[in-house]
């Protein structure tokens, strides 16, 4: 499916709300599902993998804040999906990072995962209606200590 067709389909408010409800099982931490396929009457198939599910939401109750800085420990990285989780205290925040993230910054991500050291993720954060962070698009990674 083309990216434009997917974008046009998801931009329909009704479709977006239904898609957000349909992917809820993928978001639960104790499930065994890896992806959900959605089909339309027009024979359109949309595959939604587990890594993308947290980002399928309607924008009715969300706001995006830019240049937010969180300090925590990386608990998971998926290099194929360019995503992961950062543990901030008892909370776990999903994040994605761009292909253009500098190699040195990616090494900091990996070392945080490996050595369990706290680092800073800086980027755009989607907040829900109660001002809880839902997801983050990382633009920069920093560390207090020199890792290499």
The tens digit of pLDDT for each residue in 77-136 reads 999 999 999 999 999 999 999 999 999 999 999 999 999 999 999 999 998 877 889 999
Residue 148 within any structural domain of the chain: no
> 22, 37, 55: which is the final residue of a domain?
55
Tell me the pTM: 0.61
Residue 147 within any structural domain of the chain: no
Pair (23, 91) in one structural domain: no
**Rounded Cα gap, residues 126 and 63, in angstroms:** 6
Q: What's the number of domains the chain is made of?
A: 2
At 7-37, the pLDDT tens digits run: 555 556 666 677 777 788 887 777 788 888 8
Residue 8 within any structural domain of the chain: yes
**In which domain, by residue range, is 109 found?**
63-142
pLDDT at 31 (0 to 100): 78
Residues with Cβ < 8 Å from 23, sequence gap 6 or more?
36, 48, 53, 56
**Rounded Cα gap, residues 65 and 94, in angstroms:** 15
DSSP state of 6: H
B/e letters for 77-90, b = 16+ CB within 10 Å, e = fewer, are: beeeebbbbbbeee
């Amino acid at each position: 499916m083309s990216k434009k067709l997917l974008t046009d389909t998801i931009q329909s408010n009704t479709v977006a709300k239904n898609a957000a409800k349909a992917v809820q099982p993928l978001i639960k931490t104790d499930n065994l599902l890896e992806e959900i396929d959605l089909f339309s009457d027009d024979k359109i198939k949309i595959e939604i993998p587990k890594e993308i599910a947290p980002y399928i939401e309607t924008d009715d109750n969300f706001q995006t804040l830019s240049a937010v800085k969180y300090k925590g420990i990386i608990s998971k990285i998926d290099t194929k999906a360019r995503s992961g989780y950062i543990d901030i205290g008892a909370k776990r925040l999903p994040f994605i990072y761009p292909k253009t993230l500098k190699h040195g910054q990616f090494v900091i991500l990996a070392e945080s995962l490996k050595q369990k050291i706290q680092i800073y993720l800086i980027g755009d954060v989607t907040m829900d209606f109660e001002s809880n962070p839902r997801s983050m698009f990382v633009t920069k990674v920093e560390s207090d200590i020199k890792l290499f």
